[in-house]
Structure 1
Amino acid sequence: MPPSRRIGSGGVTAVAQAGTEGLKGRRKAILGWCLYDWAMSAFNTVIGTFVFSRYFTDAVAGDPAQGTQQWGMALGISGIIVAILSPVVGAIGDRGGRAKPWLAVLTTVCVLATAALYWVRPDAAYIPLALLAMAVASTAFELSYVFYNALLPVAAPPGYAGRVSGWGWGLGYFGGLGSLILCLVLLVQTDAPLFGLIGKEEAEHVRATALLVAVWYALFAIPLFLLAPDRPSVDKPAGRIVREGLAALADTVRHVRSYGNTVRYLIASALWRDGISTITAFGGIMAGSLFGMDTAQIILFAIMLNVAAGTGAVGFAWVDDRFGAKPTLIISILGLMVSATALLLVGTSYWSWAPMLALPLNWTQEQQWLLLFGLVLGIFFGPAQAAARTMVVRISPPGMETELFGLYNLTGRAVGMIGPFAYGAATAYWDSQRAGMSTVLVLFTAGLLLLLTVKEPARRGEAA
């Protein structure tokens, strides 16, 4: 690669020198970095999935179908903005050196926009405020990933990137679970929300979950800024940094054929990540309509799935460092394919041979098998995502870490439209949600086959 693109390599040298301290000397930095995953997971779990999104569609919009469409439109617009800005801010960030200032600004914007959701009352007049606040929060949230992930090689000593990534991703799953339980216990499912300090008029107890998430995010993000190191600063005027960043991105686009290994990996990872996103987006719908699970069962299922995913991310972290990110990803994707296939067969004539389960739950046999294979599926969720970002670190040329994570976001967004579209089209054509969910197997297979052509550098920073 051109020597001019190795700007920021001093940061790599600093990381290597810091790595000589060993894991013991880096524990505070690693803890600070991992806690940011714990912090930001509350937004996805509480706001985006289980609590506030349902509050908007059911109580604010009034019409669940129309509310879902409006909520999806806001997230779609946010996704387009993220796809455009991710590689741009990533390239500029690499030329500016430090990542923490960017991360601090984006974290603050997300926290404030999330807190603003508290003022969204159960009235259609508040739809614009809800959609605007959610779009701003989601955009800042997704862009923060670019700079947070780029700090992985700075926080982790050489040889520990896989473990630190896995620990962070696992902690994120448990953080999302913890924030959800806290919201349910303190606010949503209690007769005296927040020990009687707030009421239930105008759904205040549900709206207050946005404030809890904002405080959670802000509080647990602080350790990263206090404990984790930053990349070396660059003494350049802001205007020059922006010009050089845009020029660097343009150079990458012009010479994209020179980065064939990296491009193949970005597309491959986007495919299996889209498969995972499709499962999480439509899995609850399928569990309810096809297997008759009620809301309480789906929430319990989701909680157990998060525990399994967090455990898998942490458990496979050492495999990543010992054998490499690529072998870890291959094992994870194969595990996803096998368990997803088993899930699709449950309740069909192909499952008549299955023995009776006796789980301590008042669930039907099909629901018990669904839970069992769902937990197996969850175990491979974590490592498939944690090792994916480790691989980005290992294939990133020195000085291009943030730009590569920006492109990682871009490809994820671009390919991310395939899964939901394929699911909907297959479900409509065959009038079967099983057919719709089977499209994730195509995404997993395509991602795996393309991954097999990718070379994982022997050492972090080796040119792709």
Structure 2
Amino acid sequence: RNLIIFMCGEPVEGKEMTSTEEKPKLIATISWILYDFADTAYSMNVVSLYFSTWLIIELAQSDLWVSLANSLSMAMVALTMPVLGDWSDRQQKKKMGLFIFTMICIAGTFLIGVTGKSIQSLSMLTTVVLALYVISNYSYQGGLVFYNALLPAVSTPKTLGRVSGYGVGIGYLGSAAGLLIGGLYVDGNAFGLTIPGITAGGRVAAFIPTAFLYLVFALPIFFFVTEPPNMLVRERWHLRESYKQVWKTLKATNQYPGLLRFLVAKFLYEDSIQTIIIFMGVYTQAVMGFSTAATKTFFIMVIPAAVVGSAICGILSDHYGPKKTLVGVIAAWIVSLTVVVSSMNITVFWISGAIVGVLMGSTWTAARPLLISLVPGQRLGEFFGLYALSGKAAAITGPLLWSSAVLLFAKYGNIVKYKSAVAVLVVVMAAGLIVLLKVPDLHQQLKWRRQDN
């Protein structure tokens, strides 16, 4: 099946139409969506909840170590994924790249659980698990480049936003499954459910079952999704040439109107979102006083709103265009986080959490189609590499901004230092919105072109 590309406005050199709007097989679309289920379970259990709270709260280590581990893994993504995206385009290896990165992430997660139970020295344990986390998080984040680039293979131009939204929405169900499975092994029960033979093992017990959950639901994409042929496939690929090509692409982004602005905007707003994902478990417990069980309940409450919001956002993105949808989503983020900073009311926090859940899913749902509308389709892997470069560069600076604010205001106590950190993220996100407003909206031009055809 040929790779789907979009022709927006007047013809642009290099943007050749390479596909029809052939409907993909349902099993392929479902398999692609199930991968979102798998990796979001990892994101919830490892990135958002158990790893950071295990190190910071249970092992009494500094926020700085978690920030540095996340920043290092994201720096690795930023340095390597643009060229690996180019490799996947030219060698038609998106599925292979996704498979390798997925297996490394699963293995790293499994080993965090094994070493967490076997190493007694706190200093050695901290060093080893941080190294394993860097590897697993790098692989998880890097794999998303290949995964996102497979989206056109499981959708049509008319359903791109919806399929993206369904993936994000089902991904949040993966978060719920992760919390359920993790809760059984961490607390011995999950929302009243107990299974004979499974006893409470503490936060460290969440990693091994999360690795198995990731594996089971990731496998279908490798059997049922067919990678579309690419006009740029060639016999040989050179790393040095690929880095040169990425540099040329960065310098030539003005050939694709709005691309550079979008990447800068994404860097700014994702700087905040990635940091919130990492530290929201710590915030709920350190500032709002939630127990681990209450934190899981909070996340479970957020998930249904996120599922519904992602699906609705996909429909809105197809109807009104991804640019307008994303602008509305980022504006709502700013309002919601401002409310979180200014209030200590538990009810307000729960409501804000539900809204944030909707917005988190909606952000990815609208951002992927927006990028696809701005770039030539035969180079999607390369440009999703730049997409990752922008987001992961943000994820380098975001945790460091958070840690700097926490250290600066540490003497005022947990509430002030963590609320100050969130306030810094609000300012950065507002800057991202200002840049995003200048990205061209090509959705209407695309609709006119389809009508003319």
Q: 1:439 to 1:164 in 2, by over 3 A?
A: same
Cα distance in 1 between the residues matched to 2:206 and 2:405: 36
Shift of residue 150, structure 1, vs aligned partner: 0.5
**2:69 alignment partner in structure 1:** 74
Q: 1:246 to 1:279 in 2, by over 3 A?
A: closer
Work out whether 1:162 is the aligned partner of 2:161.
Answer: yes
Q: How does 1:437-456 map to 2 (within 5 A)?
A: 437-456=422-441
Q: Which of 16, 20, 33 lines up with 2:22 in the alignment?
A: 20
**2:109 alignment partner in structure 1:** 114
| 3-state SS of 1:416 partner | helix
Shift of residue 57, structure 1, vs aligned partner: 5.0
Which amino acid letter does the alignment assign opposite residue 111 of structure 1? I
Contact 1:273 1:385 in 2 (8 A): no
Q: Which of 270, 280, 285 lines up with 1:273 in the alignment?
A: 270
Q: For structure 1, which runs of at least 5 residues remain unmatched after alignment?
A: 348-365
**2:216 alignment partner in structure 1:** 219
Shift of residue 131, structure 1, vs aligned partner: 2.7
Q: 1:372 to 1:130 in 2, by over 3 A?
A: same
Shift of residue 269, structure 1, vs aligned partner: 1.6
Q: How does 1:153-192 map to 2 (within 5 A)?
A: 153-185=152-184, 187-190=185-188
Shift of residue 251, structure 1, vs aligned partner: 2.3
Bigger Cα displacement from structure 2, 48-57 vs 28-37? 48-57
Cα distance in 1 between the residues matched to 2:313 and 2:97: 30
**2:4 alignment partner in structure 1:** none
Shift of residue 136, structure 1, vs aligned partner: 1.6
Cα distance in 2 between the residues matched to 1:294 and 1:155: 41
Q: Aligned pairs, how many?
A: 423
Cα distance in 1 between the residues matched to 2:294 and 2:67: 25
CA-based RMSD of the aligned residues comes to: 3.0
Q: 1:241 to 1:417 in 2, by over 3 A?
A: closer
Q: Percent identity?
A: 27
Shift of residue 206, structure 1, vs aligned partner: 5.3
Q: For structure 2, which runs of at least 5 residues remain unmatched after alignment?
A: 1-10
Cα distance in 2 between the residues matched to 1:325 and 1:191: 41
**2:39 alignment partner in structure 1:** 40
Choose 1 or 2 for highest CA Rg.
Answer: 1
**1:318 alignment partner in structure 2:** 315
Shift of residue 162, structure 1, vs aligned partner: 0.7
**1:91 alignment partner in structure 2:** 86
Cα distance in 2 between the residues matched to 1:36 and 1:149: 11
| Alpha-carbon displacement from aligned partner over 1:82-107 (angstroms, at most 9, x marks no partner) | 11001111122221224111111111
Q: Which of 341, 344, 353 lines up with 2:341 in the alignment?
A: 344
Cα distance in 2 between the residues matched to 1:288 and 1:194: 24
Cα distance in 2 between the residues matched to 1:161 and 1:206: 38
| 3-state SS of 1:399 partner | helix
Cα distance in 2 between the residues matched to 1:83 and 1:170: 26
Work out whether 1:261 is the aligned partner of 2:246.
Answer: no
Q: TM-score, normalised by structure 2?
A: 0.83
**2:352 alignment partner in structure 1:** 373
Q: 1:74 to 1:191 in 2, by over 3 A?
A: same
Cα distance in 2 between the residues matched to 1:159 and 1:421: 40
Q: 1:447 to 1:216 in 2, by over 3 A?
A: same
Contact 1:326 1:391 in 2 (8 A): yes
Cα distance in 2 between the residues matched to 1:235 and 1:326: 31
Q: TM-score, normalised by structure 1?
A: 0.81
Contact 1:92 1:246 in 2 (8 A): no
